[in-house]
Amino acid sequence: MGNSCSCQIINSRYRQIVRLPSNWLLPALQTNRRHYSSQEHQQPKSIVLKTPKGTKDYSDREMAIRAKVFDTITRIFKKHGAVTIDTPVFELTEILAGKYGEDSKLIYDLADQGGESCSLRYDLTVPFARFVAMNGKEYQNIKRYHIGKVYRRDQPAMTKGRLREFYQCDFDIAGTYDPMIPDAEVLRILCEALTALQIGPYTIKINHRKILDGIFEVCEVPQADIRSISSAVDKLDKLPWDEVKREMVEERGLSTSVADSIGEYVKLQGGKELLDLLSKDQGIINNKTAMQGLADMRLLYDYLEVLDVQDKLRLDLSLARGLDYYTGVIYEAITPASTEGGVGSVAAGGRYDDLVGMFAGRNKKGQPSMKVPCVGVSLGVERIFSILAAHQKGQQVKSKETEVLIIAVGRDLIKEQMRLAKDLWDNNIKASFMFKNKPKLEKQWAMCEKDQIPFAVIIGQDELDAKQVRLKDMRIKDKAQGGGIMLQRADLVKELKTRLKDF
């Protein structure tokens, strides 16, 4: 290459290309060359300064919003008696295999560098089931929450909050209990969380795998096609019935009459009264599976009425949920797309009674050696961040908690500033100072302003000689305050503590 004496660094943010001399590596690195592996010797000719596709950095302001979201959610999870556990970011590949249906192709694998075959976790549910199966008796009953990152090699849509690395906030109840009681509490928790997060109006679509499977049986869908047809039905939130029908018939090989009879059912939406309607349907009455699902839903609605969240729910017979592991009630929380920043689904979950058993092995009779029924919900907080960030647009987000800036008037007072800072730190007061021997006064005021620091403590040689300090409340714009009040140095901590208490 004619250009071999230079290489490029591309800064993706500024779309700026910098030409470099071929010896651009720092001296420290050059002297070190002989320790590099051969791979490192071949430094790439250009470094693209970016995060991997579908991932992003979170700035301090975004983190402030995120911390608020996590605090709100965690508070509610704890209110409902949950503990938290943590699992590794990657699992043995075989643990994840066969759990995600068609989406398994989105799993990230680690490179084979010798040793075990591992993959990044795709959700927090499968690792939780693995944890319960592994820990035997001790965790057969647990309410746990887990906030952690999960990974999917999906096509990213950053503005909609669809990323390849994203957080999920999961709450699950594992254990053998009486029907629909934990299910009702999970839905109550979901409503509490979405209300507390102030994301605006939302609806929880709800359905039951057994009702859906029963409908497919009633409509005489071949057993082997049920999941495939189920996936098609699930698209009804995005596509009109005609297109879904076309897919069922043309792509998935269903007869038109079967598709039409499915259509009669899955177009149904409504409240509790829809359960009554279904109970009068001759097809449903004769289908055991569907009747079990209906009985579950009646009981659930009774409980949800007591828990005062039934008005948030909408029975939607087209809701199917793609994942293989659901066995009972399924739900999905959505925000109206018309809302500013509204982005569709913000949470989803359901009952999965067989997943732990899949890990636990089988006894001599061929039954799972352990059966731990589970129900849970996962909040997709990236979408919630998007909504909240849209709400907060233009508002200033405070990311720093500094309470006091120690301002020096004059030069070489750095040790005095440190001495003062030490006293404040010892008393748990959040204090900072500028790291300069000759700090400019206007720059120190500007720092106060920029970081929204409420108090300034000012020292100069006069104050030091008199063992005094000046204290100024930066929130008061009144000029009468002047340079602030004069205090005995020895009284500063007490005075600040009093003022910060009211803060």
Interacting positions 313-372 with its own copies (CB under 8 A): 324, 327, 354, 357-363, 366, 369
CB-based burial label for 434 (10 Å; 0-12, 13-18, 19+): middle
Is 32 a residue that touches its own copies (CB under 8 A)?
yes
- Distance CA(285)–CA(277), nearest Å, equals 11
Is 203 a residue that touches its own copies (CB under 8 A)?
no
Is 59 a residue that touches its own copies (CB under 8 A)?
yes
Shortest Cβ distance from residue 267 to its own copies (Å)?
A: 25
Please, which of residues 443-462 interact with its own copies by CB under 8 A?
Answer: 451
Judge whether 384 and 346 are in contact, CB under 8 Å. Answer: yes
Among 208, 105, 194, which Cα is nearest to 381's? 194
Shortest Cβ distance from residue 87 to its own copies (Å)?
A: 5
The residue within the footprint of its own copies, chosen from 1, 4, 15, 26 (CB under 8 A), is: 26
The residue within the footprint of its own copies, chosen from 1, 4, 38, 44 (CB under 8 A), is: 44
The binding track of 91-130 with respect to its own copies, each residue x by CB under 8 A or -, is xx-xx-xx--xx-xx--xxxxxx-xx-x-x---------x
Dihedral sign (CA 424, 429, 433, 435): positive
The binding track of 385-424 with respect to its own copies, each residue x by CB under 8 A or -, is --------------xxxx-----------xx--xx-xx--
Query: Contact region for its own copies (CB under 8 A) — 197-205, 220-228, 284-292, 332-340?
Result: 220-228
Q: How far is CA 474 from the centre of its chain?
A: 36
Name which of 9 and 249 has its Cβ closer to its own copies.
9
Is 467 a residue that touches its own copies (CB under 8 A)?
no
Please, which of residues 369-388 interact with its own copies by CB under 8 A?
Answer: 369
Judge whether 21 and 6 are in contact, CB under 8 Å. Answer: yes
Tokens of 10: 């591309």
Shortest Cβ distance from residue 376 to its own copies (Å)?
A: 14
What 3-state DSSP class applies to 180?
coil
- Distance CA(360)–CA(356), nearest Å, equals 6
CB-based contacts of 348, cutoff 8 Å, min separation 6:
321, 330, 331, 332, 333, 377, 378, 380
What 3-state DSSP class applies to 396?
coil
Name which of 204 and 413 has its Cβ closer to its own copies.
413
Judge whether 103 and 325 are in contact, CB under 8 Å. Answer: no
Is 55 a residue that touches its own copies (CB under 8 A)?
yes
Judge whether 147 and 73 are in contact, CB under 8 Å. Answer: yes
The binding track of 142-181 with respect to its own copies, each residue x by CB under 8 A or -, is x-x----x---x-----------x-------x-x-xx--x
The residue within the footprint of its own copies, chosen from 51, 198, 255, 488 (CB under 8 A), is: 51
CA distances from 146 to 84, 91, 217 (A): 6, 16, 37
Is 257 a residue that touches its own copies (CB under 8 A)?
no
Is 89 a residue that touches its own copies (CB under 8 A)?
yes
Is 217 a residue that touches its own copies (CB under 8 A)?
no
Query: Contact region for its own copies (CB under 8 A) — 40-48, 245-253, 255-263, 473-481?
Result: 40-48
The packing angle between helices 288-306 and 209-218, to 10°, is 150
Is 133 a residue that touches its own copies (CB under 8 A)?
yes
- In one-letter notation, the amino acid at residue 431 is A
DSSP 332: E
Q: How many residues bind its own copies (CB under 8 A)?
A: 136
Shortest Cβ distance from residue 343 to its own copies (Å)?
A: 21
